[in-house]
A and B are shown apart, each in its own frame.
Chain A
Amino acid sequence: MLLNLARTIPRSAANGPGQRFVIWVQGCAIRCPGCWNPDTWTFATRQLRDTAALADEIVATSEIEGVTLTGGEPFHQARALVDVASRVRAAGLSVFVFTGYDLHELNQSDHCELLALTDVLVSGRYVQSLRSFESEWRGSTNQRVHFLSARYTEASMADSAHVEFHLAPDGELSVTGFPLPQLLDVVPAPEWPPQDQE
């Protein structure tokens, strides 16, 4: 089974509890104004990965406690992500999902299958006017954190960095997590409004 990806990073401390492998899927129909990742909106093929191979890569990554699915909108590719999530869960890793949908909107069968494999779900549109720098794991205060298994609790929120920078060998600086605007002076802002979108 194939998954259309934007990118992955093998280890992040700013996308859920502990150190996590992070998958940004490609494609989002919700397209919240002010989204930090507008390059992930288009459904054009960006990087097709075999889900079994991807799961193998995640499981082989050292010192992580789980995988985080974000994007783009993960539930647009729920079927493929069920395959990834079930494999990594079987290896003892946890699953954390960021979605732009509210929980009650996730009612298709493949949505339910992915939710059944999810330990923590952060749900809801990103609303610029409700932007928050204090809410753990959330970009705006309307978003909700759902602990769908007993693996994590609200106390787990403390076990997460706010923001993380990745400095590539060529000097390119990328940021993930929930940065204060003052921190972003050191990195180029994403193109807004996004160009070349469908």
Chain B
Amino acid sequence: MVDEESLIEAIVELGFDRTALLCSATPIALRGSQHGRSAHIVLPKERTGDAFNDIGFLKGPAGYVAVLSDDHAIYGREWLAKVGDRYRFHWTAKQSRLAEAERMRIEEERQRLVEAQRVAVHERAKKLGYVVKEAREGDTIRLVLVKRSY
């Protein structure tokens, strides 16, 4: 798990209150049996039903690693497996959104280029005394230049 946004979406989807999540660019110290360890994303113990231990996700070179107790009634290994599953779902959805945004950006750029070319031909032709007849030929625009006969 490497993407913070997708990881948070997965945790929230599994029922954790988004507003209670602590996220930081620098690691935050964890409380309880994880004392001495820290994490970039923290689920505070007050919201996990555990009187002593925070749960965290520490970002490392290979992605986020969970810091939690194996025996937690809710936030244990089984929960972590679900987080992983939902993370993959949100990460895939995010990639699709980004791809669509990029596709739209390229399409807008293409349309701008075509329109700029079209306008350039019209302007140049008009200066030289041509009348431009424009027609569509499938995806192609035909610009037929004829001399004015008057």
Chain A interface (Cβ < 8 Å from any Cβ of B): 9-11, 13-14, 161-171, 173, 177, 179-180, 182-183, 185-186
Contact indicator B121/A167 (Cβ below 8 Å): yes
Of the candidates A162, A167, A186, which one forms a contact with B140 in the assembled complex, judged by CB atoms under 8 Å apart?
A167
Give the complex CA separation of A182 and B126 in angstroms: 12
Residue of B nearest to A165 (CB): B143
Residue of B nearest to A170 (CB): B110
Chain A residues, CB < 8 A from B140: 166-169
Instruction: List residues of B (100-150) whose CB comes within 8 Å of A's CBs.
Output: 110, 113-114, 117-118, 120-121, 124-125, 127-128, 130, 133, 137, 139-147
Asked whether A161 and B145 contact (CB < 8 A) given A10-B137, A170-B110, A186-B124, the answer is yes
A49: min CB distance to chain B, Å: 19
Give the complex CA separation of A112 and B141 in angstroms: 38
Chain B residues, CB < 8 A from A169: 110, 114, 139-140
Chain B contributes a number of interface residues (CB within 8 A of A) equal to: 23
Chain B residues, CB < 8 A from A10: 137
- What 8 A-B pairs have minimum CB-CB distances, sorted nearest first? A171-B113, A165-B143, A167-B141, A169-B139, A161-B144, A186-B120, A13-B144, A163-B145
Supply 11 A–B pairs (Cβ within 8 Å), ascending by A. A11-B142, A13-B133, A161-B133, A163-B130, A164-B142, A165-B142, A165-B145, A166-B143, A169-B110, A180-B128, A182-B124
Interface of A is mostly: mixed
Asked whether A173 and B117 contact (CB < 8 A) given A11-B137, A162-B130, the answer is yes
Give the complex CA separation of A163 and B140 in angstroms: 16
Contact indicator B144/A171 (Cβ below 8 Å): no
Residue of A nearest to B119 (CB): A186
Asked whether A167 and B143 contact (CB < 8 A) given A11-B137, A162-B130, A186-B117, the answer is yes
Contact indicator A168/B144 (Cβ below 8 Å): no
B26: min CB distance to chain A, Å: 47
Contact indicator A167/B110 (Cβ below 8 Å): no
Residue of B nearest to A14 (CB): B144
Residue of A nearest to B127 (CB): A182
Residue of A nearest to B129 (CB): A180
* Chain B window 66-85, contacts with chain A (Cβ cutoff 8 Å), 1 for yes, 0 for no: 00000000000000000000
Of the candidates A161, A171, A179, A180, which one forms a contact with B114 in the assembled complex, judged by CB atoms under 8 Å apart?
A171
Asked whether A161 and B117 contact (CB < 8 A) given A166-B141, A169-B140, the answer is no
Residue of B nearest to A177 (CB): B145
**Which of A11, A167, A185 has most B Cβ within 10 Å?**
A167
Residue of B nearest to A186 (CB): B120
